[in-house]
Structure 1
């Protein structure tokens, strides 16, 4: 399975992003989910995460691919505390 990591972000902050600020940096990550790739388009997130949440409003993590980190976690280590437990359970299988 080709999985994609997506961030469920908190509501937008009232502040405006500054130039050079990474996308999503002004919006804290609420939860990290795993999602399958859309059928026929491996680089595109499918419509639902592995736990069943809609991915429409989520941000795809572009600098992290689980397959590039064999033996490591499927999510970026800096977000270990906010990993979705349901997605994590599916990824462990």
Structure 2
């Protein structure tokens, strides 16, 4: 799974269809064999539309400026925004 996701991220600019396919295969492997994906691999999938979002290409990553420090990740495909709270 890790190899497929790494290849999908590296191929996302040059060949987007191949990168989508590689990410889909990694997701299928994890669901078929009931293996939980590590967080660093799960973060490249949108929580709403479940599609592969390459960091910087299909998503926007921002640091929140409130009293609670968080990272906001916005999917450019469906528009969903989700937050990851940073522990202090």
**More helix per residue:** 2
Q: Which of structures 1 and 2 has the larger relative contact order (alpha carbons within 8 angstroms, sep 6+)?
A: 1
Task: Establish whether TM, by shorter chain, passes 0.5.
Answer: no
TM range (shorter): under 0.3
Give the TM-score of the pair, scaled to structure 1.
Answer: 0.24
Give the TM-score of the pair, scaled to structure 2.
Answer: 0.24
**More strand per residue:** 1
